[in-house]
Structure formats: C-alpha cells, structure tokens
C-alpha cells in the first residue's frame, strides 16, 4: 500500500472556521496541522491536551509559597550568622525579638501550605468519588 502523501486538496475557509481549526489544533497533541486535519477528516481519534485547573492553581500557589519560604529561610540564616557575632546582652535580646517575628511568619506560611494541601486533598477525593480521576 502506498502511503506517500503527494496529492493536494485546497479548500477555502472563513476567518471563524480557521480560528476554530487553529483552536482545536492548538489544544491537540498533533505537531502538524495537516496530521490533525487528516485525523479529523477520516474520523480518527484526536488526542487532546487536558489541563486540570485546580491542579494548576495549586501548583502556582505552592510555587509562590516555596519562594516565600526560601526568603524566610535566607533571612533566618542571616539572623543566625548575626547571632554568632553578638557580644553584648542587649544585642542578644534584640536578636531574640527579631527571631520571634521571623518564627511567627514562618509558622504562618507553614499553616498556609497545610491548608492548601488539605484543600487539594479534599477536592481530589471529591473528584475521585465522582469518577473524574
């Protein structure tokens, strides 16, 4: 059987039709529009990319929290280095007060992470119960 594709079919489409074709093509895993259109023309299955919005939102929030935790960790490291250079009691008291503020912020961020993870776990369990996962 000859699978060489050397025949051309030319068709005209409206702007709206082309936009619809391009939208469907961009959401598919096909690399070439001709392959995508050939599959559609011959009623072959077209694999569509699927994005889980709740997972995307979760990952975005976790990245932001990770960055904030990294900044807090950096500040903590600087504070500990400062502690090692202190020689007077009033400097030590000042360091302890500052450290308490940073510790409070750190635990707030950890609680935020826990809440996001619980929320995602609850959402995932509801979706899996409905058969979506």
Write out the chain's pLDDT in tens, 133 residues: 678 888 888 899 999 999 999 998 888 888 899 999 999 988 998 888 776 777 777 778 888 888 888 888 888 778 777 777 777 777 777 777 887 888 888 888 888 888 887 887 777 677 666 655 4
The verdict on 68 and 125 lying in the same domain is yes
Answer yes or no: do 59 and 26 share one domain: no
Helices 89-129 and 53-85 pack at an angle, to 10 degrees, of: 170
Count of domains observed in the chain: 2
How many C-beta atoms lie closer than 10 Å to residue 72's C-beta? Answer: 17
Query: Do 64 and 41 lie in a common domain?
Result: no
* Contacts for 15 with CB less than 8 Å, ≥ 6 apart: none
On whether both 11 and 69 belong to a single domain, the answer is: no
Measured between alpha carbons, how far is 61 from 54 in angstroms, rounded to an integer? 11
Query: 76 and 37 in one domain?
Result: no
Q: What is the Cα 132 distance to its own chain's centre? A: 19
Domain span at residue 42 reads: 1-50
Residues 87 and 72 in one domain: yes
Residues 35 and 13 in one domain: yes
């Amino acid at each position: 059987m000859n699978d060489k594709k050397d025949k051309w079919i030319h068709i005209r489409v409206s702007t709206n039709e082309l936009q619809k074709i391009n939208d469907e093509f961009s959401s598919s895993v096909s690399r070439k529009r001709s392959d995508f259109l050939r599959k559609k023309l011959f009623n072959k299955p077209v694999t569509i990319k699927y994005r889980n919005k709740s997972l995307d939102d979760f990952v975005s929030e976790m990245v932001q929290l990770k960055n904030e935790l990294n900044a807090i960790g950096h500040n903590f490291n600087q504070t500990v280095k400062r502690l090692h250079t202190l020689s007077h009691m009033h400097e030590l008291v000042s360091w302890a007060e500052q450290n308490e503020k940073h510790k409070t912020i750190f635990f707030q961020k950890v609680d935020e992470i826990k809440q996001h993870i619980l929320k995602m776990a609850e959402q995932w369990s509801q979706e899996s119960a409905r058969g979506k996962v």
